[in-house]
Amino acid sequence: MAMQSQGLRQVQKQTQNLVLAPQLRQSLKILQVPALELRSAILEELQTNPLLEELGNNDESLDSEETEPSPDEIESEKNEDFPEENSGETEAKESETDKDSDSMDDIQDMDFSDEFAILKEMEEDLREHYENEFDGEAKLGNTDAQDKRKFFFDSLTSEISLQEHLLEQLKLTEIKEEVRNAAEYLIGSLDENGFLNSNLSDISLISFMSLADLQEALATIQTFEPIGIASIDLQDCLLRQMDARGWESTDQYKIVRDYFPLLVRRRVPELSRKLSQPNEVIHEAIEKISELDPSPGKRFSEDNNQSISADATVEKVGNEWTISLNNDFIPRLKINRTYKELIAKGVLSSKEKEYVRNQMRAGKFLISSIDQRQNTIERITRKIIERQTGFFEEGSSKLRPMTMSEVADSIEVHETTVSRAIANKFLRTPHGTFPLKYFFTPGYSSKDGDSVSNTSVKEIIGNIIEQEDPTKPLSDRKIVDLLAEKDIKLARRTVAKYREELGISPTNLRRRY
């Protein structure tokens, strides 16, 4: 059999790829970042463009005439700076002047309709793609298509932090309110290994909590998973793990309890003499100790709690709800006048002029992207007010169902634009500060045609359970019946799911005798 020859050869292949231009990527980035990160994102772009400059706090706002000189102003300045050129060489430079004036007119008249038209086309393509995809699922009888659609736009994957893991267990623990507050404080004081390095007496002085409550809180936390959490040091952590395994009478327990400094330095001969055991037994004991977890907090993700700042504020002025956008983190930008004058004076080479024009265009596009970001957030907030008026008047119990698709259609953008615009954004309201995503939730229709969001349903379930008789707690089936009396129809498994999301135990664990 002849062996197939090997070699290099050229092959032509045609493929389609969607490539975002740098300016479009920049526009999407500006739209998506939260308020606290917006200034950094803008300044990052500012450093790459020498034509952009930031106005100081003491600078007055400049109108379009001040920031963008008209062709007549440019020509006047040119005549003042170069009187001899304009008297003797006017005809020779007439064509170049006309060309530069045209360039300046083009730059001044930029509306970036082409760039935003490209974004619009991309949104329409995405809309058509996902409509076809989910319509196909619906035709196949998939009743979960809408849930998948919401999951696609809403889901963010993140690992649970140690603090979140412990707080979830704390919710299921029956303790006094003062002890619960102390436990929350101690959970927030744990280091990355899960240890409590501070003395309880010092914590009591700093937090103004009673020492007795802190001691009870610490004892409670130390019963949580993972075993060894909230230990005062490594030795304490290992001993508590061995207690849980029933190793109290073993050689490894004696080594950790009585000869921990020798263990740390791995002094096997000395440990052998202290325990009157051969070296082989000591090695086996140390091998057993190595099975324990010296850092029980390390298995969890880093606690990424961070400060937030509302991107917009909604408040009632008179009888109307008003919107105030947060512009505190947006630098005021303008195009440097010097470069525009250099183009008009004709002192730049063709390559230099092309570079300046490109940078000027990029700078104006950045300024337009910032304006568009704020405008999009304001339009979405306006739709939230229109749909969720009951929430702003009375609170979460009046939250109504609302989807990104509804808002996207009403402001004529794609759902992905709404998804980016509300990502990591917050809205300050009379009832507190909420993520913008809080207002986008599915819901249920009652018999009278009214609708209620699943967030409101959870609140209703929580209120029902709060008012139950502790000696005869309500079953999930009974809660279903009580909701039906309020014209809210839910399946029992849905009630069970919402109850678990609220951190409420099942019936048998809520019963008090």
Q: What is the pLDDT of residue 65?
A: 38
Helix axes 211-221, 200-207, angle to 10 degrees: 120
Clarify whether residues 338 and 298 are in a common domain: no
Paired with 2 in beta bridges are: none
Which amino acid, one-letter code, is at 263?
L
Range of the domain at 97: 22-111+334-363
Q: Residue 391 falls within a domain, yes or no? A: no
Residue 198: helix, strand or coil by DSSP?
A: coil
C-alpha atoms less than 13 angstroms from C-alpha of 322 in its C-beta half-sphere: 6
Clarify whether residues 455 and 340 are in a common domain: no
Which amino acid, one-letter code, is at 392?
F
Q: What is the pLDDT of residue 91?
A: 42
Residue 434: helix, strand or coil by DSSP?
A: strand
The reply to whether omega before 226 is within 30° of 0 (cis) is: yes
Q: What is the pLDDT of residue 216?
A: 93
Domain end residue (candidates: 363, 380, 404): 363
**CA of 163: how far to CAs of 60, 98, 182, 203, 451, in Å?**
47, 67, 14, 18, 36
Clarify whether residues 199 and 248 are in a common domain: yes
Tell which residue, 337, 409, 354, 356, has the closest CA to residue 380: 409
CATH of the domain at 473: 1.10.10.60
Paired with 128 in beta bridges are: none
Q: Residue 125 falls within a domain, yes or no? A: no
Q: Residue 470 falls within a domain, yes or no? A: yes
Q: Residue 262 falls within a domain, yes or no? A: yes
Q: What is the pLDDT of residue 246?
A: 92
Q: Residue 16 falls within a domain, yes or no? A: no
Q: What is the pLDDT of residue 74?
A: 38
Clarify whether residues 262 and 220 are in a common domain: yes
Q: What is the pLDDT of residue 132?
A: 53
**pLDDT, one tens digit for every residue, the chain (513 residues):** 455 556 677 777 666 554 445 667 777 778 877 777 788 878 877 788 888 887 765 554 444 434 444 444 434 434 433 334 344 444 444 444 444 444 444 444 455 555 555 555 555 555 555 555 544 444 444 445 555 555 555 554 456 788 888 998 998 888 899 999 999 999 988 888 889 988 898 888 888 899 999 999 999 999 998 899 999 889 999 999 999 999 999 999 999 999 999 888 888 899 999 999 999 999 999 988 888 888 888 877 655 556 678 889 999 988 899 999 988 878 888 888 887 787 777 777 888 888 888 888 888 888 888 888 889 999 999 999 988 888 898 887 777 888 888 888 888 888 888 888 888 889 999 988 888 888 887 665 555 545 566 677 777 888 888 888 888 888 888 888 888 777 777 778 888 887 887 778 787 777 775
pTM for this model (two decimals): 0.48
Contact by Cβ (8 Å): 310, 428: yes
Residues 429 and 433: their CA atoms lie apart, in Å, by 6
Q: Residue 146 falls within a domain, yes or no? A: no
Enumerate residues 6+ apart whose C-beta is below 8 A from 291.
none
Residues 377 and 313: their CA atoms lie apart, in Å, by 11
Backbone angles phi, psi at 154, to 5 degrees: -100, -25
Instruction: With residue 465 as reference, give the H or E element that holds it.
Output: helix 454-466
Q: What is the pLDDT of residue 255?
A: 92
- Chain-centre distance of CA 438, in angstroms? 13
Tell which residue, 120, 32, 108, 118, has the closest CA to residue 364: 108
Q: What is the pLDDT of residue 97?
A: 45
Task: At 456, list the tokens.
Answer: 């409101």
Burial class (CB in 10 A: 0-12, 13-18, 19+), 437: middle
Instruction: With residue 316 as reference, give the H or E element that holds it.
Output: strand 312-317
Tell which residue, 173, 247, 246, 185, has the closest CA to residue 210: 185
C-alpha dihedral (83, 84, 85, 87), degrees to nearest 10? 80
**Total structural domains within the chain:** 3
Enumerate residues 6+ apart whose C-beta is below 8 A from 26.
45, 365, 366, 369
Contact by Cβ (8 Å): 33, 424: yes
Burial class (CB in 10 A: 0-12, 13-18, 19+), 2: exposed
Tell which residue, 173, 128, 130, has the closest CA to residue 149: 130
Clarify whether residues 176 and 283 are in a common domain: yes
Q: Read out DSSP for 57-69? A: TTSPP--HHHHS-
Backbone angles phi, psi at 459, to 5 degrees: -65, -40
Clarify whether residues 86 and 170 are in a common domain: no
Q: Residue 1 falls within a domain, yes or no? A: no
Q: Residue 402 falls within a domain, yes or no? A: no
Q: What is the pLDDT of residue 139?
A: 42
Contact by Cβ (8 Å): 116, 365: no
Task: At 447, list the tokens.
Answer: 């018999």
